[in-house]
Each structure stands twice: as C-alpha cells, then as structure tokens.
Structure 1
C-alpha cells in the first residue's frame, strides 16, 4: 500500500481537527470530505481508525527522520606532547554533495 507523504498527512489531520471544533454546517460538510480523504489515505473505513493510523504513521516518519539525521563525522587526532599522548575528536569536513547514509531502507510516499 502506498503511504501519503507525512506533510500531506499532517495537513489532513490538522484540518480535520480544526473543522471538528467548528460547529457550522459548512464546516461539517468539509469535515466529512476530509474524513473520507483520511480514510482513503490510510486504508481504513472509520475516521477514528484513520486518525489513529495517521498519527501512528506520522510518529514513525518523525522517528525515522530523526534517526536518519546526519551526524557529524569525526576523526581522532593523536598528538604527542611533553606530558604524554593526547587524543582529540575533530569534525571531519563533508564533501560537496555528500548524503547521509541510512539503514532503514527506502521510503515510499505518494
């Protein structure tokens, strides 16, 4: 199953929640449309299930992005001084166009 992009999913959830707080007839009509879109996007039939699934996917996407965030690479520099051997971690410069490596595999967004 294709998953919606997290930004799109976050927008749908936020708009649905904002409209559910508004009690006008127009807001209820838009809320029904968003409920349908959320259900289709998450592969569910009930809006409560769609919201739970969407929130779970958003948490997973956030955790994956945090885990895949580039970490500064360091090099250990050893230097001999009068008092002995000192070691220091020095940031290694990134080459132009270097991309962070991730072990979580490809992500598919629709």
Structure 2
C-alpha cells in the first residue's frame, strides 16, 4: 500500500481537528463540507473507512515517522 508523506498526514489531521472545533462552535454548511472532504481524504490516504480509524492510523504513522526507521538487527 502506498503511504502518504508524514507532512501530508500531519496537515490533514491538523485541518480536520481545527474544522471539528469550528464545527462544534458554529456549524456552517461550508465548514461541514470541508470537514467531510478532509475526512474522506484521510480515509483514502490511510486505507480506512471511518474517520476515527483514519485519525488513529494517521497518528500512528506520524509517531512511527518521528521515531525514524528501524535499524536492522
């Protein structure tokens, strides 16, 4: 499976979380549409079907990327 670059995943997660905060405070059709678009993109880039699973997968991949490549034993 192709993996999204960590910078792309990080940007998507940050955008989604920011829009979720905005949507919770003032729900607008535009904010909801944008949030749905980002949720869809997160699902596609992580190979999941649910936005919560996509967020979890993205965070896991970001954590792995921060740790760096595993060294051969």
TM-score normalised according to structure 2 size = 0.86
Runs of 4+ in 1 over 2 A off after TM superposition: none
CA deviation string 1:30-86 (max 9, x = no partner): 000000000000000000000000000000000116x7xxxxxxxxxxxxxxxxxxx
Aligned residues: 68
Structure 2 CA distance, aligned partners of 1:33 and 1:8? 15
Q: Which ranges of structure 1 fall in alignment gaps of 5 or more residues?
A: 68-102, 105-110
- TM-align CA RMSD: 1.5
Instruction: Determine which structure has more spread, i.e. the larger CA radius of gyration.
Output: 1
Q: TM-score if structure 1 supplies the norm length?
A: 0.58
Give secondary structure in 2 for the equivalent of 1:12: helix
Which residue pairs with 2:2 in the alignment? 2
Structure 2: gaps spanning 5 or more residues: none
